[in-house]
Amino acid sequence: MSAQIIDGKAFAADLRTRIAGEVARLRAATGRAPGLAVVLVGEDPASSVYVRSKGKATIAAGMLSFEHRLPADVSQDTLLALVARLNADPTVDGILVQLPLPRGLDESAIITAIDPDKDVDGFHPVNAGRLATGLPGFVPCTPLGCVMLLKSVLGDLSGKDAVVIGRSNIVGKPMAQLLIAESCTVTVAHSRTRDLKAVVARADIVVAAVGRAQMVRADWIKPGATVIDVGINRTEAGLVGDVDFADVAGVAGAITPVPGGVGPMTIAVLLRNTVVSAARRDGFAVDL
């Protein structure tokens, strides 16, 4: 048995094409394009590359891109003042403060200062609460992208037994909430889960987001299960996920590769959230 490879790169490209179409429709109806503001503090190389790629993708979709770069030693008050200005700016529909922030800045305070209705990263406590209670809000981009990929392969997810390995606020917890909303039976597993292998082995859907290279092996996986690998780990052999791809692909029904699986979805969903934010503010319906 050889697993179906879930091509996140192709799915993300299709999503970005649809986003561009909705941006054009929104612009024609309202006279303005959605705007995304990205704030980068410091000179972290990985964050700089990521911010640059977000800017290019935003412009390619026909949207406005606002980039704010601040020095690593910026004060908390200065950063909060910038967030307040972006909250009040009518040309800005989405605000993203690139994490991690340099030492000395309170990430929680900065995230909480963002207007929840412009929080296209979905990290604000208000949006976490909306997700948990089934209210419309913004969901972190990576888990929402994972659900899109799952539905592209499986269609209706209701009744599926799902295990999420990892309990972070950015991926694990919102992933579990999204799967619950899709009527899955969900287990959140982590480093202290007893007999983790046995817990994972009963799942129809496995989402690995724990940050340990190639931890999930073929003998953990129920034959035919769908495996979503969120992990990105740098090793001497190159980028690998939390799943041993070559091993698990012989057992799973479908699997995302690393790279080329979940990764491309994150920026595409960020653009999607920004368009949705603009549409909500203008009372306009988009199909994304």
CATH number at residue 71: 3.40.50.10860
98 is catalytic: yes
282 is catalytic: no
What predicted TM-score, i.e. pTM, was given to this entire model? 0.95
Are 94 and 145 contained in the same domain?
no
Overall number of domains in the chain = 2
Are 106 and 166 contained in the same domain?
no
Question: Encoding tokens for residue 257?
Answer: 């590769």
In whole numbers, what is the pLDDT of the chain averaged over residues? 96
Q: What is the CATH number of the domain that holds 154?
A: 3.40.50.720
User: 147, 15 in Cβ contact below 8 A?
Assistant: no
Catalytic hit among 54, 118, 173, 222: 54
Q: What is the pLDDT of residues 153-192, one digit of tens each?
A: 999 999 999 999 999 999 999 999 999 999 999 999 998 9
Catalytic hit among 93, 119, 121, 229: 121
Catalytic hit among 93, 98, 229, 244: 98
What pLDDT does residue 1 have? 60
The residue to which tokens 């999503």 are assigned: 15
214 is catalytic: no
Instruction: Indicate the pLDDT class of residue 95, thresholds 50, 70 and 90.
Output: very high
Are 65 and 175 contained in the same domain?
no
Are 72 and 151 contained in the same domain?
no
Q: Which domain holds residue 54?
A: 31-115
Question: For the chain, where are the alpha helices, taking DSSP H only?
Answer: 8-30, 45-60, 76-88, 107-113, 125-133, 141-154, 172-181, 196-201, 245-248, 263-281
What pLDDT does residue 162 have? 98
Instruction: Indicate the pLDDT class of residue 131, thresholds 50, 70 and 90.
Output: very high
Are 148 and 88 contained in the same domain?
no
Q: How far apart are CA 55 and CA 37, in angstroms?
A: 9
Q: DSSP 3-state assignment of 45? A: helix
What pLDDT does residue 238 have? 87
Are 204 and 245 contained in the same domain?
yes
